Amino acid sequence: MSKEQYGLRCGIGYDTHRLVEGRKLVLGGIEIPSPLGLLGHSDGDVLTHAIADALLGASGLGDIGHYFPDSDPQWKDTSSLKFLDTIRHLLAETGLSILNVDSVVVLDQPRLAPYIPQIKESLAAALAVELGQVNVKAKTSEGLFPSSSPMAAAHAVALLVAN
């Protein structure tokens, strides 16, 4: 794949997970103090999953379920940062580099602002990019996520360039 053939490639990722008791709340690989955590086969890191899908989408390599199916015991309760490490190597093999990743986490509680710098550092390290190439924003659902069935969502976009 050459820059002339493919140039810039963008991808989008989206994910949701339920918040339940007895699970850790992990976002971007950072554990955040919370009475509720994200339910999932892996650590349920909704932000990392959205970013993984944005990167796979941009590269045309498929989606997260193809590489890390929830039927595979090796991903049970694993850190989703491992997914980013695998995807980083897939991108390198495909001749693509990350220009930037932007993302939004939608979560009502807890407020994420104090943790954003740490989350960005964690994601940049997992992707082996500079801190300035990764952005994470936090929003609440403005009451649209039911308190009786709490959840978190994340959206991400990625821009890749052919080497």
Least Cβ distance, residue 50 to Mg ion (angstroms): 8
Least Cβ distance, residue 21 to Mg ion (angstroms): 19
The C-alpha torsion from 20 through 24 and 36 to 63, rounded to 10°, is -60
Q: Output the residue with the shortest Cβ distance to Mg ion.
A: 49
Of 49, 51, 54, 127, the one binding Mg ion by CB under 5 A: 49
The CA-atom distances, in angstroms, between 126 and each of 71, 75, 100, 106 are 24, 17, 14, 22
Of the listed pieces 21-29, 44-52, 71-79, 95-103, which binds Mg ion according to CB under 5 A? 44-52
Told to check if 9 binds Mg ion by CB under 5 A, we report no
Q: How far apart (Å, rounded) are the C-alpha atoms in residues 82 and 24?
A: 17
For the record, the structure tokens of 8 come out as 């810039």
Of 13, 15, 37, 51, the one binding Mg ion by CB under 5 A: 15
Least Cβ distance, residue 44 to Mg ion (angstroms): 7
Told to check if 108 binds Mg ion by CB under 5 A, we report no
Least Cβ distance, residue 16 to Mg ion (angstroms): 8
Which lies closer to Mg ion via its Cβ, residue 15 or residue 108? 15
The pairing of strands 96-106 and 151-162 is: antiparallel
Residue 105: CB atoms within 10 A of its CB come to 23
31: β partners: 26
Told to check if 155 binds Mg ion by CB under 5 A, we report no
Least Cβ distance, residue 80 to Mg ion (angstroms): 8
78: left (phi over 0), alpha (psi -120 to 50) or beta: beta
Give the binding site for Mg ion (CB under 5 A): 15, 49
